[in-house]
Amino acid sequence: MSEKNSSKQITVAVIGAGSRGAGFGRHVAALPHLGKIVAVAEPRQDYRKSFAQTHRLPSKAVFKTWQEFLKKPKFCDAVVVATMDREHVEPAVAALNKGYHLFLEKPMSVSLEDCRRIEAAQRKAGTRAAVCHSMRYHKGFNKIKTLVAGGSIGKLVSVDQIEQIAFWHFGHSFVRGNWGVEGKASFSLLAKSCHDLDYITFVTGKKALRVSSFGSLSYFKPENAPEGATLRCTDGCPVEPSCPYSALKTYVNANRQEWPADVVSHDHSAEAHLKAIQTGPYGRCVWACDNDVVDHQVVALEYEDGVTATFTMSAFTYDIGRRVTLHGTEGEIYYDEAHNLMTLKRFAENNVEKIELGAERGGHGGGDARALRGWLQAIRDGRDDLILTNVQESLKTHTIVFAAEKSRKEKRMIELKEM
Ligand X SMILES: NC(=O)c1ccc[n+]([C@@H]2O[C@H](COP(=O)([O-])OP(=O)(O)OC[C@H]3O[C@@H](n4cnc5c(N)ncnc54)[C@H](O)[C@@H]3O)[C@@H](O)[C@H]2O)c1
Residue selected from 41, 92, 144, 324 as contacting ligand X according to rule CB under 6 A: 41
Peptide bond just before 58 cis, omega within 30 deg: no
The CA-atom distances, in angstroms, between 298 and each of 48, 112, 213, 328 are 39, 21, 6, 22
Q: How many CB atoms lie within 10 A of CB 417?
A: 8
> In the bound complex, what is the minimum distance in angstroms from residue 102's beta carbon to ligand X?
14
> In the bound complex, what is the minimum distance in angstroms from residue 225's beta carbon to ligand X?
27
Q: Which residues pair with 35 in a beta bridge?
A: 10
93-122 positions binding ligand X, by CB under 6 A = 105-106
The span of 14-22, 203-211, 373-381, 385-393 binding ligand X (CB under 6 A) equals 14-22
Q: Which residues pair with 346 in a beta bridge?
A: 331, 351
**What single-letter amino acid sits at 247?**
A
Task: Show the site string, 149-188: x = touches ligand X by CB under 6 A, - = not.
Answer: -----------------------------x----------
> In the bound complex, what is the minimum distance in angstroms from residue 360's beta carbon to ligand X?
15
3-state secondary structure of 36: strand
**Of 96, 91, 69, nearest in space to 81 by CA:** 91
Task: Show the site string, 335-374: x = touches ligand X by CB under 6 A, - = not.
Answer: -----------------------------x----------
**Of 156, 105, 134, nearest in space to 307 by CA:** 156
Half-sphere exposure of 18 (CA within 13 A, CB side): 16
* 6 contacts: CB under 8 Å, gap ≥ 6: 380, 381
Residue selected from 31, 84, 338, 419 as contacting ligand X according to rule CB under 6 A: 84
C-beta of 66 vs 100, nearer to ligand X: 66
> In the bound complex, what is the minimum distance in angstroms from residue 4's beta carbon to ligand X?
28
The span of 9-17, 153-161, 197-205, 388-396 binding ligand X (CB under 6 A) equals 9-17
The whole-angstrom separation of Cα 56 and Cα 58 is 7
Cα 376 off chain centre by: 19
H or E stretch at 273: helix 270-279
3-state secondary structure of 87: helix
**Of 396, 7, 53, 15, nearest in space to 206 by CA:** 396
> In the bound complex, what is the minimum distance in angstroms from residue 308's beta carbon to ligand X?
26
52-71 positions binding ligand X, by CB under 6 A = 65-66
The span of 37-45, 96-104, 118-126, 394-402 binding ligand X (CB under 6 A) equals 37-45
C-beta of 260 vs 328, nearer to ligand X: 260
266-295 positions binding ligand X, by CB under 6 A = none
The span of 81-89, 345-353, 385-393, 397-405 binding ligand X (CB under 6 A) equals 81-89
- CB-neighbour burial class of residue 298 (10 A; exposed 0-12, middle 13-18, buried 19+): middle
The span of 19-27, 264-272, 281-289, 334-342 binding ligand X (CB under 6 A) equals 19-27
Q: Site residues (CB under 6 A) for ligand X?
A: 15-21, 41-44, 47, 65-66, 82-85, 87, 105-106, 132, 134, 178, 191, 364
